[in-house]
């Protein structure tokens, strides 16, 4: 049964737009104790359309204050995805009377012929109002059909700005001293790309390990080999100041998520650790989700790190900023009641199943085995709003475990979104689910124990 319009599927601690359509997180920047999130926004309907940058601000990444639209489409086209540079030293020269410029770099996408080039805009009031640069575009299209999603970062190796963007099926890297004039310094992916897919939303950032600094590159891909699902691939390697070299890679591509609903994710600028947000709905059916007045959400904020496994380093993700709720966790037994629609669950043990059920006999099943984890959403709620939503590829998310021994899992459930972090966050799954009525009971099978904590405003 479809639940379209039947009940409110709006998550409580995950970012959603007040109304209408949202997709990728954009321009994420941490400034003076505030997290600024801009996002791909169509303010007229809950489906994709002319892209604006919506804007929201948070102190804790859980509760967001909505602000007026930061950027509207213009004569150069829609405002596609991009990022922010907090220009403390006023390298851009946009600063005036001591105000620090915050510079947005984004793709101008011309809808008539899909021409894409890179533009900038600056704000002198801390990211609320933006003035577009008269010299746009700052990087013109070199003759490519897809050329978008610039992610700017400070390049300590060359003491300049660098930027990575998605160019057809690889990434280009550029450098600049003033955010206006850019030179191309490298390319990555033509050789390494094992997947025939357009690249989108690339990101590049360093992480510390016992073996020193390593760089991680993220790239969103609509097609995942053998599975066909949209997902984020990552590479681990070195950034020499000009280009990226993958080092840790075996033959198999590495994927960020074994669920279906985590796409176009990147990290915040100007924070000392990489904090990640992704778009929490698969682009494959995001236009059809049964959420009524709004469409789209962001994942919970996640801190990324690299952990050494027997297969080499792998990316791990952990929910960020939930400690105060976690501290009040209490044991929950098989058959226990779920008293709210927004909670965390910590699960320990060897193997077994966690099942959430409701009075409509719907169920969401998380199965843990010694070597694998499976999540089955096929009977968890509405699915007929899209042919793809619960087809063969999009019903059961499964992964091999990267650590041996008892599982240590944390699971977040928020009305219509499930996130699972297992084995120190090395295995992560994100999934939308649309149960007709809230899940009421938890069943805990096998030799698993669980603790629950409530997450409230």
- In this complex, which beta carbon is closest to ligand FRU, that of residue 201 or of residue 368? 201
Among 107, 185, 262, 358, binds ligand FRU (CB under 6 A): 107
Residues 392, 374: contact at Cβ < 8 Å?
A: no
**How far is 328 from 275, CA to CA, in rounded Å?**
24
Q: Does 24 contact ligand FRU by CB under 6 A? A: yes
Q: Does 175 contact ligand FRU by CB under 6 A? A: no
**How far is 102 from 128, CA to CA, in rounded Å?**
10
- Shortest Å, Cβ 102 to ligand FRU: 20
Residues 145, 114: contact at Cβ < 8 Å?
A: yes
What backbone phi and psi angles, to 5 degrees, belong to 215?
Answer: -110, 145
Q: Please pick, among 24, 87, 146, 414, the residue that the annotation labels catalytic.
A: 24
Q: Which two tokens stand for residue 30?
A: 């941490």
- Shortest Å, Cβ 284 to ligand FRU: 11
- Shortest Å, Cβ 300 to ligand FRU: 19
Among 201, 301, 315, 455, binds ligand FRU (CB under 6 A): 201
- Shortest Å, Cβ 267 to ligand FRU: 16
Q: Does 108 contact ligand FRU by CB under 6 A? A: no
- In this complex, which beta carbon is closest to ligand FRU, that of residue 22 or of residue 123? 22
- In this complex, which beta carbon is closest to ligand FRU, that of residue 174 or of residue 313? 174
Query: Contacts for 66-72 with beta carbons within 8 Å, 24 or more apart?
Result: 66/17, 66/18, 67/128, 68/128, 69/41, 69/43, 70/27, 70/38, 70/104, 70/123, 70/127, 70/128, 70/129, 70/130, 71/38, 71/104, 71/106, 71/121, 71/130, 71/132
- Shortest Å, Cβ 51 to ligand FRU: 5
- In this complex, which beta carbon is closest to ligand FRU, that of residue 107 or of residue 141? 107
H-assigned helices in 288-350: 323-326
Q: Which two tokens stand for residue 360?
A: 């409509």
- Shortest Å, Cβ 218 to ligand FRU: 12
CA 240, 241, 245 angle in degrees (round to 5)? 35
Among 13, 29, 31, 51, binds ligand FRU (CB under 6 A): 51
State the CB neighbour count (10 A cutoff) for residue 249.
15
- In this complex, which beta carbon is closest to ligand FRU, that of residue 107 or of residue 386? 107
DSSP, res 99: B
Q: Annotated catalytic, 24?
A: yes
Peptide bond into 392 cis (omega under 30): no
- Shortest Å, Cβ 146 to ligand FRU: 8
Q: Does 52 contact ligand FRU by CB under 6 A? A: no
- In this complex, which beta carbon is closest to ligand FRU, that of residue 52 or of residue 363? 52
Among 20, 81, 119, 383, binds ligand FRU (CB under 6 A): 81
How far, rounded to the nearest angstrom, does the alpha carbon of residue 351 sit from its chain's CA centroid? Answer: 29
- Which residues between 240 and 299 bind ligand FRU (CB under 6 A)? 264, 283
Q: Does 149 contact ligand FRU by CB under 6 A? A: yes
Among 36, 55, 148, 377, binds ligand FRU (CB under 6 A): 148
Size of the site for ligand FRU (CB under 6 A): 13
Q: Does 366 contact ligand FRU by CB under 6 A? A: no
Residues 77, 88: contact at Cβ < 8 Å?
A: no
What's the half-sphere exposure (Cβ side, CA atoms, 13 Å) at 182?
28
Q: Does 313 contact ligand FRU by CB under 6 A? A: no
**How far is 327 from 323, CA to CA, in rounded Å?**
6
Among 3, 22, 23, 262, binds ligand FRU (CB under 6 A): 23
- In this complex, which beta carbon is closest to ligand FRU, that of residue 107 or of residue 357? 107
Q: Does 423 contact ligand FRU by CB under 6 A? A: no
24: closest CA among 38, 39, 44? 39
**How many residues would you count in the chain?**
457
Q: Which two tokens stand for residue 242?
A: 């000009």
- In this complex, which beta carbon is closest to ligand FRU, that of residue 267 or of residue 362? 267
Which residues of this chain interact with ligand FRU, rule CB under 6 A? 23-24, 40, 51, 80-81, 107, 148-149, 200-201, 264, 283
Catalytic residue numbers, as ranges:
24
């Amino acid at each position: 049964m479809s639940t379209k319009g039947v009940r409110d599927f709006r998550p409580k601690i995950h970012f959603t737009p007040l109304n209408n359509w949202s997709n990728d997180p954009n321009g994420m920047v941490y400034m003076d104790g505030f997290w600024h999130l801009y996002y791909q926004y169509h303010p007229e309907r809950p489906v994709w359309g002319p892209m604006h940058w919506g804007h929201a601000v948070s102190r804790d990444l859980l509760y967001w204050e909505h602000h007026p639209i930061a950027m509207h489409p213009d004569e150069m086209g829609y405002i596609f995805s991009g990022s922010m540079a907090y220009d403390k030293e006023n390298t851009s020269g946009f600063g005036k009377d001591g105000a620090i410029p915050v510079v947005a770099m984004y793709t101008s996408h011309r809808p008539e012929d899909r021409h894409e080039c890179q533009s900038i805009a600056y704000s002198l009031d801390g990211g609320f109002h933006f003035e577009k640069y008269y010299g746009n575009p700052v990087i013109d299209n070199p003759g490519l059909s897809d050329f978008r999603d610039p992610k700017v970062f400070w390049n300590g190796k060359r003491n300049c700005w660098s930027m990575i963007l998605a160019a057809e099926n690889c990434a280009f890297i550029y450098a600049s001293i003033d955010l206006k004039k850019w030179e191309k310094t490298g390319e990555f992916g033509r050789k390494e790309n094992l997947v025939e897919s357009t690249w989108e939303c690339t990101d590049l950032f360093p992480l510390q390990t016992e073996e020193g600094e390593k760089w991680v590159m993220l790239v969103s891909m609509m097609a995942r080999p053998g599975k066909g699902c949209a997902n984020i691939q990552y590479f681990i390697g070195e950034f020499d100041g000009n280009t990226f070299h993958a080092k840790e890679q075996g033959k198999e591509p590495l994927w960020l998520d074994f669920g279906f609903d985590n796409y176009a994710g990147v990290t915040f600028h100007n924070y000392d650790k990489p904090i990640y947000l992704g778009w929490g709905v698969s682009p494959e059916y995001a236009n059809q989700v049964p959420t009524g007045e709004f469409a789209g959400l962001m994942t919970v904020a996640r801190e990324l790190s690299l952990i050494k496994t027997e297969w080499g380093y792998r990316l791990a993700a952990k929910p960020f900023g939930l400690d105060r709720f976690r501290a009040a966790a209490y044991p929950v037994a098989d058959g226990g009641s779920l008293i709210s629609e927004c909670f965390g669950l910590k699960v320990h043990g060897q193997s077994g199943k966690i099942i959430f059920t409701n009075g409509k006999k719907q169920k969401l099943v998380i199965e843990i085995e010694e070597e694998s984890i499976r999540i089955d959403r096929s009977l968890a709620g509405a699915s007929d709003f899209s042919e793809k939503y619960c087809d063969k590829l999009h019903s059961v998310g499964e992964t091999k475990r990267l650590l041996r021994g008892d599982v240590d899992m944390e699971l977040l459930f928020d009305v219509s979104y499930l996130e699972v972090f297992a084995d120190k966050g090395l295995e992560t799954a994100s999934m939308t689910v649309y149960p007709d009525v809230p899940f009421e009971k938890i069943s805990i099978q096998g030799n698993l124990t669980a603790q629950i904590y409530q997450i409230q405003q």
